[in-house]
Amino acid sequence: MKNIARIVVGVLFLTGGMAQPSYAHDTVKDAIASARQKMKASDFDGAAKDAEEALRLAGTDSGERVNVLLLEANLAEARKDLTGAQTIYEKILAGSDALPAQRVVAINKLAEFLKTGRQLGAAHIPASVQSAGKQFDAIRSLYLQALDSKEFQSSPERADLLIALARLHEANYNFAKAGDYYAQAFDFPQTSRSNRLAALRSLGATLVAQNRFEDARTQFARISELPDVTPTERSKAILDAAQASEAEGDFPAAKASLLQAAQVEGLTPGQRTAPLAALAKFYAARTDWEGFMKTLAEIRAVNGSVDLMTLRQQALLAKALGKEDEEEKVWDEVLAQTDLPDRALVEPLNKKLALLAARRDPDALKVFLSGMAGRKLVPVQRATLDILSAVLAVPAGDFTKFQAPTFAEPDAEKLANAYFEAGKVMMYLRDFDAARFLAQKGESLFVKSPERLYEVPFVEQAPRGVSGWLNSPLLKDASRREARFEEYNKQAAALLVNDVNAERTVVADAAGKKAPVAFFMAADAQGWHVFIEYKDEEAEQVLAGLLPGGGLEIYMVPGMSEPYYQLMLDVPSGKRQFIDWSSPNRHYRPADDFVTTEVAPIPGGFGVSLVFPWEMINDKLPQADDTWPFGLVNFGRGGAFTWGSGQVHELSRFGKVSFPAITKALPAIHRWIVLRAFAKYKKSAETAKVVWNDPEKGDPEFFETVLLPEMNRLGELGKHVSTKMSEKDSERLFQETVPAWMEFGYWIAERRTHFLADKLMTK
């Protein structure tokens, strides 16, 4: 027909009737292929011209004309004209020219529109089917109508519709109904071999979902009975049976099937890789290091290398078993692969950085960064490494000499995130000045948020616990209620998924919502007290376990140049997790040993009480003109909100607290710390006496010559300690004796080292 049309055109040209058209393509197939290439390049106008030419070339060939219509529908989708695309698909189904395979394409596309209409643009989806249940009914009706039509009574494409309908029910968790349709697809005489194989595997999977494990294994075994079954297909069927046994909890049977799948006769060495990888995954799930490594060796033997997913499993298994050296070797192996795309390097690189930082070895980190200098990475990760290299090159903490790298990433927010990620690494290295400097560099790229400042009042006795706060007049003073929370930066929340320190429940968007939290603060001679109102209209359901609660993340920094304290607190369970950002030492005491917390139901939600006792920070008490960074982030069902900062771990963006009336309260605070320090010392001294004066387990000589004289001196000073001691005595004891009383354990360790060194030198 096409050639006849061209002859007619030629005759018309010779007779002067019309000019002969010029075609850029020889066939409809060529024109359609060209259009699809242009669509990929977003050249939609060029694709439309190719589609017009394809339609001219198709002439009266109905099948080719439908192919062009399908192309035009794809083009409409690419242009986000979903109403236009739907109209074309409906036109194909309404006509009689489309072949069964073409009708299946149109039906599947309309089903996709019905299913994902809200995401793609719901304007073209009738309001009557926009709810989830009605969408399901509409899609099912679409397939059932097609199955009843004469075009699909004997064509092989009937199996495509049956399988699609089965998957619809499977996605709706109706596994029995899905299994019925898979069985129909398998039994239909005209079903193609590939569809018959797919239907049988899917039928077995629905049986597994119904805990009918033996029936599932029976269906998987039937695959071997299909004509011309290949070794790979037989191996996959055995793997499916293994997964059924594993789901049943019959691990010996699962292991036996996995071993069998790898030994199917006729498999090439390369084809054995998939079942061996499945076996390795099985061993990893059982934390069987020996079995995993043996299987890994087999994979290397048959394939020469190991796929990225299996290497990742090896690294995670090593980490779970505490084999950090083995874990690091795996990530090194991955990073040594120069042909990996930059996206594949994100996790390995992050893991390697975390391991190096955890070792607190800046020299090893410098060597690693040098080795990665020329590597192509995703822009943010490249920027993070360049920033780390630059900050590690700064001499003796003189950040005026920091040479900012040249960045390929122009996006300010992504660049800020690179500074924050580099700052986290420096935090792990305990280089707090560098971490703070990088946080400030990142912050400088943001529009500055209003600074929050809370002035903590001093009272004679602050409320104790949730009930104490509820009955306190402080709670009735609206001027003391701090509720200026802002939405938690969503991208910051996404970054925290990779924060190794803690798990957070980061919900979706909090836009337009009001924070459910507010807080009050007060201080007295014993400590700094915080009360948090946590509103929750569904508190009863939360307490019953019918709804999840929420969480609080609290940061406190006792001075601008100090390592900070971090607390994760679950509401309403009260479960808490402290994260220490420095190793315990004379000047950094683990908060878990000092801070008290309480979570309890109150009208309208929950109350949270915290106390930071002064003895925890006895050597860094605030002064009247000090402002201390303080951060409070709420993660809950209704969103995430923060006080004073858009991101956690950004000390320079935290809110601030001050203690303007502390000067007058310092004598009472010092007195209380003296009482607490002497009580702590008495317990430590009693323990030291028992331990070190024991002839078998201790060292009586060390006790008599070193410890006892000091204990006698400190004990003598303790005679001045009483609740009635004068301010002069308490001040003298605070200055001269509290450091020794509070840190007697460290004093013993230091003196023990000197004692043993002296004895060694004497010998």
| pLDDT single digits (tens) 557-572 | 998 778 889 999 999 9
Q: CA nearest 711: which of 762, 734, 745?
A: 745
Indicate if the pLDDT at residue 645 is higher than 60. Answer: no
Residue 15 has pLDDT above 50, yes or no: no
- Supply the pLDDT for residue 439: 84
Q: Which two tokens stand for residue 609?
A: 């009480």
Collapsing DSSP states into helix, strand and coil, what is residue 735?
Answer: helix
Q: Residue 500 pLDDT more than 70?
A: no
Nearest alpha carbon to residue 620 among 656, 580, 658, 587: 587
**For the whole prediction, is pTM greater than 0.85?**
no
User: Is residue 649 predicted with pLDDT exceeding 60?
Assistant: no
Computed over every residue of the chain, the mean pLDDT equals 87
- The pLDDT score that the predictor gives to residue 447 is 61
Average pLDDT over residues 384-390: 93
H or E segment to which residue 741 belongs: helix 738-742
Residue 514 has pLDDT above 60, yes or no: yes
Looking at the predicted structure, is the pLDDT value of residue 13 above 70? no
For residue 489, name the pLDDT band (cuts at 50, 70, 90). Answer: low
Residue 642 and residue 513: Cα distance in Å, rounded? 13
Q: pLDDT digits over 331-380, tens only? A: 999 999 988 899 999 999 999 998 998 888 899 999 999 999 888 998 88
Other beta carbons within 10 Å of 406: 7
* 441-483 pLDDT tens trace: 887 776 666 678 999 999 999 999 999 999 999 998 999 999 9
Q: Quick one: pLDDT band at residue 726, thresholds 50, 70, 90?
A: very high
Helix axes 708-718, 744-762, angle to 10 degrees: 150
Please report the pLDDT score of residue 654 as a whole number: 76
Count of C-beta atoms within a 10 Å radius of residue 651: 22
* Confidence (pLDDT) at 185: 95
- Residue range 68-89: mean pLDDT, rounded: 91
- In this structure, of 344-348, 431-435, 571-575, 667-671, the range with the lowest mean pLDDT score is 431-435
pLDDT at 291 over 60: yes
Give the closest residue to 114 by CA, choosing from 96, 89, 91. Answer: 89
Provide the pLDDT for residue 707: 94
In the structure, what pLDDT confidence band is assigned to residue 26 with cuts at 50, 70 and 90?
Answer: confident
Pick the more confident residue, 26 or 549.
549
559 contacts: CB under 8 Å, gap ≥ 6: 620, 622, 626, 628
Split at pLDDT 50, 70, 90, the class of 748 is very high
